Amino acid sequence: MSTEDVVMVIKKTHFTVKLHRTLLEVDLKEGAKKVLEDVLEAKPILRESLGFLFQTIIPLDVPLKDIESVKVDKKGQVKIAIPSRRDIVIPLESKESRRLVEKMNEIIPLEKERAIKDLQESEKTRKAFEPRFAEARAGAEASERIR
């Protein structure tokens, strides 16, 4: 993630929360969890396969398009609901929580809309090139039969 797309940063003693235009990033600052987080974030394949197991102890980066809801809970902490994952709770002060939730609720719909448009564009592109792919497959199959 580039620093240019950072919308908000909240620095705490043990972690930093960075809200990007497309991603929520929670980075630990120290300890064994920090080392494990660094390993998981450096290896996307590990993050995809083991991320579910470690999400309760290590906050992983979350694409905004995947977030179902974000709110401030009774304790004043940020609670993020993500389908097919355990909820993430970020322990912030009440004022910080409200600011972050307000900003996230502002940009999450924009990111979801952008993701839908990207998906629609890729579908249009796939449909436009489908005849060419079919021709190429037919040609490859014909040349394979000739061998």
Domain boundaries, the chain: 3-113
How many DSSP H helices and E strands does the chain contain? 3, 7
Q: What's 3-113's CATH class?
A: mainly beta
pLDDT in tens, 67-116: 999 999 999 999 999 887 778 888 899 999 999 999 999 999 999 999 99
Confidence of residue 32 (pLDDT cuts 50, 70, 90): very low
pLDDT score of 26:
85
pLDDT score of 83:
87
Residue 138 has pLDDT above 70, yes or no: yes
Tell me how far apart the terminal alpha carbons of the chain are, to the nearest angstrom. Answer: 48
Predicted TM-score (pTM) of the model is 0.68
Confidence of residue 143 (pLDDT cuts 50, 70, 90): confident
Please state at what angle helix 44-54 crosses helix 31-42, rounded to 10 degrees: 140
> Mean pLDDT throughout 52-63?
60
Residue 5 has pLDDT above 80, yes or no: yes
Phi, psi of 74, deg, nearest 5: -60, -25
Residue 140 has pLDDT above 60, yes or no: yes
Q: Which residues pair with 62 in a beta bridge?
A: 24
